[in-house]
Amino acid sequence: MKKIWKNISTYVVVALVSIGATYGMYSFMDHRKGYSSADFYNYGGEFDQKGVHLASLTADGYPDFTKAAENSVHAVVHIKSTVKSQASQGRQRAIDPFEYFFGFGDRGGQDYGIPQPSVGFGSGVIISKDGYIVTNNHVIDKANEIEVTLNDNSKYTAKLVGTDPQTDIALLKIEGKEFPYIPFGNSDNLKVGEWVLAVGNPFNLTSTVTAGIVSAKGRGNIGMRSSGDIQSFIQTDAAINRGNSGGALVNTNGELIGINTAIYSQTGDFAGYGFAVPISIAGKVVADIKEYGTVQRAVLGVMIQDIAIAKEANPDKTKTLSATEGAYVGGFAEMSPAKQAGVEEGDVITAINGVKVRNVSELQDQVNRFRPGDKVKVDITRGNSSKSYDITLKNNSGSTSVVKKGDGIASVGAAFKELTAEKKKDLGISYGVEVGGVDNTGKFSKEGISKGFIIQKINNQPVSSPDEVENIIRSAANSQDKALFISGITPSGARKYYAIDLSE
């Protein structure tokens, strides 16, 4: 079995069913301790959901799927996404040599094929009566047109509200009232062995229901995404096939507890293992997209490994490690809030706000329910002793700010700090603002602007404080041009110029 999971990346197929895992919750403050609570979340509140209470057992005590299935099929939709090809430069055709040399006119030159639109299919779940729909990002990626078909065959054109490629989650909206929807359940309360239903549109069929059990929770490292993405899945043996991407995983109460995303298969079709993004993750993502336009990612700023992997990779550093469960801290990111709070390399993180974490996936699942600026209690094991630290979470660029997509700050993916008098003297300059941190998914990173770069002018305006930089970025994001022209110097004193397009 270990060998199977070690080689799982060879066999996992994105069967219009890809991946995800990430983040957060609506938090409230425990006034006695000041911690953001991970014991309560109400993602459905953002979508004005009302709970359901279905009978999940028959009179004889057997599992009853009928009510949950009936509730779900009408809220699971078929999604058709169309990606239009770039317009060709006129009608190209094979050159007729007679026409080329003698001008005989059209002698039946062959047209090259005109680029055809690419069409993909998947599933989605209506999560509010006013028509919000959650699906996978890869189902609608780069789509110019998104058509949604309900179970009664009514069709709607969907608007893309926002996406989060790192979790493979997207939020759509169709116009109308009183749509059937599936309310969010609590994926934390799922138990291994519990019955679940997978509802989707496999093989381009209408809503189809399959039943199975929860095979595992917090399943990570299934080899389908980059190392920077968070992976913490519900594993199920309910049949999931191509076209199920973005469909619903529901419990016998008819509550949405996951978004079907991936299958484990050598052929691309169901072979016994399916994966779903827990609603504790997907719900936070779509709630953030609806409220802010972008996902609010909170980080501890630690480089972590499962203990078994850490022992294998660093036997000398871990030879005295007695812990068998938790997440091993192998290093720190820049401006790490965990390091600033007192966490050290070699520590093992064992709990977040009192919730036990046994591995990297469970730690990621817990931490990323929060937003930058939230305060959490982190329990660690160091040698033979145990310690707790209060840590204020930050975003990837080192800030505790919550940002909105429209203000431009989220898209540039950077934090800024005052330029010290010593650096001004060393570089021979009188003004500027230092880039204090860069998110590798933002526009600064993509254009090559790195931590330590000194910004002196943006759009020909000199800058001397982080507030000035952020105000200019916000102003540019709301302007007609939506562009940043940045001039500054590297830490070594080299002059650099950058142009950043904020319109994309």
Q: Is 464 a catalytic residue?
A: no
- The residues with which 77 forms a beta bridge, in sequence order, are 124
Q: From CA 156, how far away is CA 376, in angstroms rounded?
A: 43
Nearest CA to 434 out of 298, 403, 422 is that of 422
Q: CA 123 to CA 208: how far, in whole Å? A: 11
Alpha carbons 196 and 162: distance in angstroms, whole number: 28
Contacts of 341 (CB under 8 A, 6+ apart): 378, 389, 390, 391, 392
- Specify whether the backbone of 65 is left (phi greater than 0), alpha (psi in -120 to 50) or beta: alpha
Rounded distance, CA 429 to CA 421, Å?
10
**Active-site option among 168, 365, 374, 379:** 168
Q: Is the dihedral of CA 306, 307, 313, 317 positive or negative?
A: positive
Helix (H) or strand (E) run with residue 211 in it? strand 208-219
Q: Tell me the C-alpha to C-alpha distance, in Å, between residue 60 and each of 63, 68, 113, 197, 288.
A: 9, 18, 63, 20, 43
How many Cβ atoms from other residues are within 10 Å of residue 267's Cβ? 10
Point out the catalytic residue in the list 78, 123, 138, 347: 138
Calculate the alpha carbon distances from 451 to 263, 270, 335, 455 in Å. Answer: 39, 45, 11, 11
Question: Which residues, at least 6 apart from 489, have a Cβ–Cβ distance to it below 8 Å?
Answer: 427, 429, 432, 453, 454, 456, 495, 496
Residue with tokens 């919730």: 355
**Could you give the 3-state DSSP secondary structure of residue 407?**
helix
What residues contact residue 494 under an 8 Å CB cut-off, 6+ apart?
Answer: none
DSSP secondary structure of 286-308: HHHHHHHSS----B--EEEEEHH
Phi, psi of 71 (to 5 degrees): -65, -35
Residue 245 annotated among the catalytic residues of the structure: yes
Neighbouring residues of 117: CB distance < 8 A, sequence distance ≥ 6: 82, 83, 84, 85, 144
Distance CA 254, CA 52 (A): 7
Helix/strand/coil (H/E/C) assignment for every residue in 412-454: HCEEEEECCHHHHHHHCCCCCEEEEEECCCCHHHHHCCCCCCE
Q: Is 78 a catalytic residue?
A: no
In the numeric block, which tokens belong to residue 77?
A: 């939709």
Report yes or no: 373 and 401 within 8 Å, Cβ to Cβ.
yes
Catalytic residue (choose from 27, 245, 280, 445): 245
Q: Which residues are catalytic?
A: 138, 168, 245
